[in-house]
Structure 1
Amino acid sequence: MNQIGPDGVETLPHPLIDVPAVPASCRSVLVERARYEWRPTDGGDPAALAEQFLAAHGLPVTDLTRPAAHESTGVCGAALYVSAAAGALMAGGPTGAPNPAPALPELAVVVYGHAPRVAEPPLSPTQGRWWLGEWQDSWTPRQHAAAVRAVRAAIGRGDVYQVNVVGHAAARYTGDPGPALARLAGLPGARYGGTLRGDGWMIGCASPETLIEVTDGRVSTRPIKGTRPATAAGRRDLLASAKERAEHIMIVDLERNDLARVARTGSVRVDELFAVRRWCDLWQAESTVSAALADGLGLAALLRAVCPGGSVTGAPKHAALHHVAALEPVGRGAGMGALGWVGPGRIDLGLTIRTAAADADRLHLWAGGGITWDSDPDAEVAEAAAKAAPVRALLAAD
C-alpha cells in the first residue's frame, strides 16, 4: 500500500490534470492532495478501502443518494482507477493471470483540491527522442482463435452464454511516454479520454464506454457491444446482424441485473437500445441502462455491483470470469477496468477499453471482444486488431 499525504508545496507550478471526466472548469486549478495505491499483497477489500479513503478526505461517498454540491474551495474530487483484477476481486471472482506491468497498482485513488490559477508548466523534458519499438503480442492469432473456439465449446456445454476474450501486447520505448499517452484523448469518440500517472507508471485512455455514472441519485451504465468498419455498408451490416444484436442484448440484460442489486425496486429501465455510434474508424452499438439508487447506498457497494464491467467479462459474469482466468495467458492490467472521477454528487467512470499503460520501459495495450456461439474465430481476431490499430498508430507518432 502506498498512501501519500498533502504535498503542501503551493508555490510550485501545478501540472494540468487531465483525468477522464474531471470537471472542465477545474482542470487548470487542481493540485494533488493525497493518494492511495493498493496491490493484492496489501490485503483487504479494495472497494471498502477506496470508499474509506475518499470519505476520510471529505468526499460524500458513504451515501450516494444524499445531495452534495461542488465547492470552489477545498477538495474538488478524486481520480479513481480500478483494474480488471481488482474488479474481479470485488465481484468475488478469480483475478486471472498476473499483471504484465507490475509497477501499476490495482487500485489508485488520487484526491485533488483547488489551488490558485497558474500558468501551465512546460512539458517535461524527454529522455531523448520518443521511440516506440515493435509490438509483441502475448499470444499468436492462432492461440487467440483457439481461445475463441474454447469459449464456443463452453457455450455448447451450457457453461456460459458469452465470454469476452482479451489479448495483450507490449512494446519497448525510450523517452517520455506522457505526451504519447496524452494523445489518446484526442481520438474521435473518446468520451473518457485522459491520463493518470504515478511513480513509475502511467495510464492513457481513449474509451468511449461509460461503466457507471451517478448524478442526483440516479445511476447509468452504457454498455458497448457490436463492431463494424465505419462505412455505410458497415453500419447497415451492424444493424442487420442477428449475432451482434443477440450478443448486445445479453450484456444489456446483465447490466440490468447488476444495477438491480443497488437500485430502488422497480426503477431499472433501458433508456436506449442498440444505438449505433462511431469510435475512430469503427461503428459500435451502445445502450443506456439506468436506475434510481437505493437509499443509503455507498460507493463500495456500487463498485461491487458493477465491477468488472459486463461488456468485458460476459454472461453470467462469475462463470465468464472463470473462463477468462483459464484462457488468457497475461493479466488485463489497466485494460478492462475503470477510470474516471468521483466528486460531490457525481461519479463518472469509464470502462478502460482502448487503454494503454506505461511502466519503466514498456507500453502495454489490451484489446478483445465478446464471444458467442455464432462467433467466427478469424473474425474475432481481426476485430481485436481493428480496435487496437488506432491506439497503436497514435502511440507510435512522434
Structure 2
Amino acid sequence: MVVDPPAVPAPCRGRLVEHARWQWRPADGGDPATYAEQFLAEHGLHLRDLARPARPHHQHGICGAALYLSATAAALLAGGPPGAPNPADLPEVAVVVYAHTAARTTHPHPPPPWWHGAWTESWTPRQHADAVTAIRRAIGHGEVYQVNIVGHASTPYTGDPLPALTRLGGLPGARYGGVLTGPGWAIGCASPETLIEVRDGTLTTRPIKGTRPATAAGRADLLASAKERAEHIMIVDLERNDLARVARTGSVRVDDLFAVRRWCDLWQAESTIRADIADGLGLADLLRAVCPGGSVTGAPKLAALNHIAALEPVGRGASMGALGWVGPDHIDLGLTIRTAAVDANALHVWAGGGITWDSDPAAEVAEAAAKTTPVRAALSGHRTGPPPPTATAR
C-alpha cells in the first residue's frame, strides 16, 4: 500500500514501512480516543503527558504514526450526535504506526487506466439553499450563531485510485497533502487547515473561514467583507475556548488574525491561535477538546452538531475530521477539508461552508461548488465521461 500520509516529517517521506495498525468503528464500542492513546503507547509512542520534554526522533526504529478520525468519531468525542451514516465503507478511526526502512518507496509499474463516472450529488442546489435558509431561521430563533453545512457527491470508478488521490494531495496550498490507505479504502487530503499542532510545549490551531476567488478583486472583497470577518472571529473565539480547556491558564493568544492565504484558485482567511500546554495533558483529552473542529461545526458547537445531524442527508465520512501525524516529538493534525475517499465501489468528495444570519443561500451554494471544483479536477485528471472500452466494471 502507498505510504505517504499527511504531515510526515520531510526527512522520512518515502522511507516508511507499516509496523502496526488499529482501526475502530462504532460497533466496536468503547472510547476511541483512549484506545488510540493506548495503542500508540504499546508501540513506543507515549503520549499521556504531552507537556513532558519531547523524546527525540530517531532515524531507526519507530518513526511515528498516522492518525485519522472521521467526522462521526469527532462528533461522538464531543458528546454530539454522529449524523447521517458514512456513505463510504471506511473505519471511523485509524492509527497506523510506521517504522523506518532503508529503501526509498518506489512504484516501478505504471498504474492501470483510471476512470470515474458522473457525480451523484447528495442534494440539489435548491435543497442546499433550503438548508441554508433553515440555519438562518435557527439563528433568528437564537438556537445557534453559526452552523457549517456540508454536501457530498460520489461516483463509480475503475482502475487504481491512488495516483488520483496523490494528485489531490499535491494541490497548491495543501499543508496536509497526502494519502492514507487501508484494506479496501483510501483517503486523499489536500487540506490547508491545522486542527491542532503540538510542538515544544505549544498548542497551535489555524482556523480558516472566509473564501473568495484568488483575484485582486477577490482579495480586496474578502478583506472588506464585514460578514466574512464576523463569521471568522466567531470561530476564532470558539477555538480560543477549545484551547483554553487544555492550556495553561491565561496563555491563549491570537498571533495572527484574518490573514489571507491562497489555496488553489481561492483566497481564504486564516488565523493562528496558540497556547501553552497544560501539565498532564494526554492525547485522548486533547482530541476530546478540539474535535470536531469549530470551523466545520459552528457555534455553540454541540447545538451546531444537532442541526448538522438534522439537515445533512449524507454523512461527512472522511471529511471534516482529522488526519495527520503523531510522533515522539510533535503532533500535527490537519482538518480534513478538501478531502476525498475511496472504498471498493465509489469515489467520494465533500464540500460546504459556514452559515450566519447574513448568508445568502445562492452565494453559499456557489461557494461550496468553488471549493470542490479543484478537488474534482485533480481526481479526474481533467478527464471524465463514459468509461474507456478496456475498463472493467468494479
Q: TM-score range by the shorter chain?
A: over 0.9
Question: 1: CA distance between counterparts of 2:105 and 2:3?
Answer: 13
Confirm whether residue 79 of structure 1 aligns to residue 63 of structure 2: no
Q: Which amino acid aligns with 1:274?
A: F
Question: 2: CA distance between counterparts of 1:247 and 1:29?
Answer: 42
Post-superposition offset of 1:123: 4.4
Could you say what secondary structure the match of 2:96 adopts? strand
8 Å contact kept, 1:230–1:283: yes
Question: 2: CA distance between counterparts of 1:319 and 1:119?
Answer: 45
Question: 1: CA distance between counterparts of 2:90 and 2:361?
Answer: 31
Q: Which amino acid aligns with 1:168?
A: H
Q: Which amino acid aligns with 2:120?
A: Q
Question: 2: CA distance between counterparts of 1:296 and 1:356?
Answer: 35
8 Å contact kept, 2:140–2:357: yes
Post-superposition offset of 1:187: 0.8
Question: 1: CA distance between counterparts of 2:253 and 2:105?
Answer: 45
8 Å contact kept, 2:211–2:367: yes
| 1:343 corresponding residue in structure 2 | 327
Question: 1: CA distance between counterparts of 2:317 and 2:295?
Answer: 17
Partner deviation per Cα, 1:19-66 (whole Å, 9 max, x = no partner): 110011112221100000000000001111111111111102111111
Residues 239-248 or 54-63, more deviating: 54-63
Residue in structure 2 matching 1:115, options 97, 101, 113: 101
For 1:204-353, what aligned pairs fall within 5 Å after superposition?
Answer: 204-353=188-337
8 Å contact kept, 1:64–1:345: no
8 Å contact kept, 1:16–1:27: no
Could you say what secondary structure the match of 2:44 adopts? coil
Question: 1: CA distance between counterparts of 2:299 and 2:5?
Answer: 30
Question: What is the TM-score with the length of structure 1 in the denominator?
Answer: 0.94
Residue in structure 1 matching 2:33, options 14, 24, 47: 47
CA RMSD after TM alignment: 1.0
Confirm whether residue 178 of structure 1 aligns to residue 162 of structure 2: yes
Confirm whether residue 37 of structure 1 aligns to residue 23 of structure 2: yes
Question: 2: CA distance between counterparts of 1:211 and 1:270?
Answer: 15
| 1:23 corresponding residue in structure 2 | 9
| 2:48 corresponding residue in structure 1 | 62
| 1:95 corresponding residue in structure 2 | 82
Question: 1: CA distance between counterparts of 2:2 and 2:67?
Answer: 17
Question: 2: CA distance between counterparts of 1:124 and 1:17?
Answer: 17
8 Å contact kept, 1:213–1:349: yes
Q: Percent identity?
A: 76
| 2:342 corresponding residue in structure 1 | 358
8 Å contact kept, 2:4–2:14: no
Number of equivalent positions:
381
Question: What is the TM-score with the length of structure 2 in the denominator?
Answer: 0.95
Question: 2: CA distance between counterparts of 1:118 and 1:373?
Answer: 52
8 Å contact kept, 2:23–2:93: yes
Question: 1: CA distance between counterparts of 2:21 and 2:3?
Answer: 14
| 1:7 corresponding residue in structure 2 | none
| 1:151 corresponding residue in structure 2 | 135
Q: Which amino acid aligns with 2:244?
A: A
Question: 1: CA distance between counterparts of 2:12 and 2:242?
Answer: 32
Residue segments in structure 1 that go unaligned for 5+ positions in a row: 1-14
Residue segments in structure 2 that go unaligned for 5+ positions in a row: 384-394
